[in-house]
Amino acid sequence: MKRGLGFYLRIYAKILVQDIKSKMSYRADFIISTLGMICTNIAGFVSFWILFQNFPSVDGWGYYEMLFLYGFSLVSLTPVQCLFDNNWSLRMYVYSGDFIKYCFRPINLFFYYQSEVFDIKGLGQLAFGIGTLVYAWAKLGLPVTVLMILKMVVFLTTASLIMIALQNAAAATCFWIQNSFYVLDFVFRFKDYAKYPITIFSPVFRFVFTFLMPIAFIAYYPSLVILRPDAVPLLSWLSPVVGLAFFFVSYKIWMYGALKYSGTGS
């Protein structure tokens, strides 16, 4: 029996409340981890500031444009941090055989597994990212219009789908590869390159970051629609399509592995 969107939203709300209650029972851990997330982002901000004390621009990108990319990447990475953090535990459930418990519920398997964990400390990253975006936006003198805000929402959402898709596909390798953690960790580390314009890389890496490991769609291509509207490449306009396509493919890979799971562990 198919379930509607309203059903899943109600279920998710109930699961979310219980998960937050569980985390808030360990308030010291929550506060420390949140502060750690904020300090990490501040360190990234400081590194940009130090870099631009010596270089006025990077391949034609000024300080505030680079800061915009940094803020854009932080906001677009927040959904994967908050909503899909359970992917990091997938391999342990699979190897222990405990993943089988998710296979007997009358709801979507992918939704049920991912909804079980909400990484609330990611909201600190979201706040810092929005603050960085607003600051860079003001310094660049970008107009604030309904159309611009709509573009931001659309391109941030579809940019998020890219990182979610990469993590989903990498996490799903645990259904076939025993040491899958290294695959997931390797893919996740590429997110650090998302905050840089792809033009600073060699042609080989431009190709890789566009068509094979499409991290350029996490910040660079979507940001061009806002930052440089007079010269937007086709790939920027295709960002929503690329995001949706990659997410759909990653979902199918994840579900294929999950539905083939035998419950015996690895």
Average pLDDT over residues 178-192: 89
76-124 pLDDT per residue, tens: 999 999 999 999 999 999 999 899 988 888 889 999 999 988 888 788 8
Predicted confidence band at 2 (pLDDT cuts at 50, 70, 90)?
A: low
Q: According to the model, what pLDDT value does residue 262 have?
A: 74
The residue assigned the tokens 């998960």 is: 19
Question: In this structure, which long-range contacts are made by residues 227-236, counting pairs with CB atoms below 8 Å and at least 24 apart in sequence?
Answer: 227/65, 227/68, 227/140, 227/142, 235/210
The 10 Å Cβ neighbour count of residue 128 is 22
Mean pLDDT of the chain: 87
Predicted confidence band at 265 (pLDDT cuts at 50, 70, 90)?
A: very low
Whole-model pTM: value is 0.87
CA distances from 169 to 93, 163, 195, 213, 230 (A): 16, 10, 22, 11, 35
Q: According to the model, what pLDDT value does residue 190 have?
A: 86
Q: According to the model, what pLDDT value does residue 266 have?
A: 44
Q: According to the model, what pLDDT value does residue 50 have?
A: 80
Predicted confidence band at 62 (pLDDT cuts at 50, 70, 90)?
A: confident
Q: According to the model, what pLDDT value does residue 263 have?
A: 65
Q: Is the confidence at residue 145, as pLDDT, over 80?
A: yes
Provide Rg for the chain, Cα atoms. 19
Average pLDDT over residues 205-212: 91
Predicted confidence band at 5 (pLDDT cuts at 50, 70, 90)?
A: confident
CB 251 within 8 A of CB 110: yes
